[in-house]
Structure formats: structure tokens, C-alpha cells
Amino acid sequence: MQCSGLSGVGLYVTPAAALNAFAAADGTKAAVVVTAPILERFPEDELAGILGHELTHIRSDDVRVMGAASTLARMVTHTGVIAVLAAILGPLFGAPRAEPVGTMLAALSVAVLATWMTARLSRTREFAADLGAATLLGSPVPLARAPVRLDRYARWLTPPWLRPLTRRSLHDSHPATGERLERLGSYVA
């Protein structure tokens, strides 16, 4: 992994059946983990793109950034749950009566907003990792083929009756493949 400008990054293979690759770090050590099916089903140049993408996440400290963002979103959500419970149960313990419906709506709104903001940040970091991989490889082409292949496998593995449930949403952590290809195409220009 020395070609990325990073040293001491481990590469691990897990036998998990999913098609996946991810970066992991704890501040002192970093690793890229890929599943065995990725190694079996993707050509070498696309694997280089995937590894470059994950190495860019490590170089950009995305693991720490996204960990902090996710923790903050969970804290906001849990605070909302506590507020709702206090509004509902508080009067049982002598607290002044609160409006639980208003509290629930406010808590839900803030939780959805926090989750959306975290997903939005994640999608932004994914685009940056794509650019980093394209720069590392000198071309966005191998990386551009990998999400298309992933989508094809996902579609093949998903039963037709489940496909409507797999539609993209505002809470997705990764950009849609079409958006990624459009951005990767702009790196060529």
C-alpha cells in the first residue's frame, strides 16, 4: 500500500459473502478490508480502483470524521427519545405537564435532520474518495466500472419482489451510481 503515500496500512480479506470493501482505522492503525467475492469477481484494474478509493478514505481521515458525525447524530436522536419519554412520563413523577405530541414531532424532525446531514456528509466524502482513487490510478475508468459491476450483482442477487424496497433514499450513505459516473467522467475533462 506504499504507492498511495500511506505506510503501515493493512490489507485484510474476510470470507463474508457480501460484495464489499471498507476502510477501518483507530487513530494508530489503519486497514482496508475486502470480502472474498470482491477478489473473485472483479478484474485487477477495478480492484486497484476500489483499493485506491478505500485508501483515500484513510488518507482523508474519513473513518474518524464519519465516526464523529454518526456519534453526534445518535446523540441527538437519543436526546430526542429522552425528551419524549420525559414529556410522557414526567407528570407521573411530579414534573410539570409537557406537550408530548409537540415534543415527539420536534424530536423526530431533529433526528431525521441529523441522520440526513450525516448521510449527506458521507456522500460528499465518497465523491472525494472517488477523485482520490482516480488521481492515484491516473484514470477514473477502472473505478467507474466497479460501481456498475456492484449494481449489476446487487440486482442479480435481489429477488424481484424485494427490489422496490431497495430504492435510493436521502439517507443513503453512498451516492447513486449514475451520480458517481457523472463525477468520474468530469475528472477526465
Catalytic residues: 54
Beta bridge partners of 30: 9, 25
Tell me 28's DSSP state.
S
What is the C-alpha separation between 49 and 144, in angstroms, rounded? 8
What is the C-alpha separation between 3 and 24, in angstroms, rounded? 19
Question: For residue 36, what are the contacts with CB-CB under 8 A and spacing of at least 6?
Answer: 13, 14, 15, 16
What is the C-alpha separation between 74 and 94, in angstroms, rounded? 29
Q: How far is CA 176 from the centre of its chain?
A: 12
Q: How far is CA 116 from the centre of its chain?
A: 12
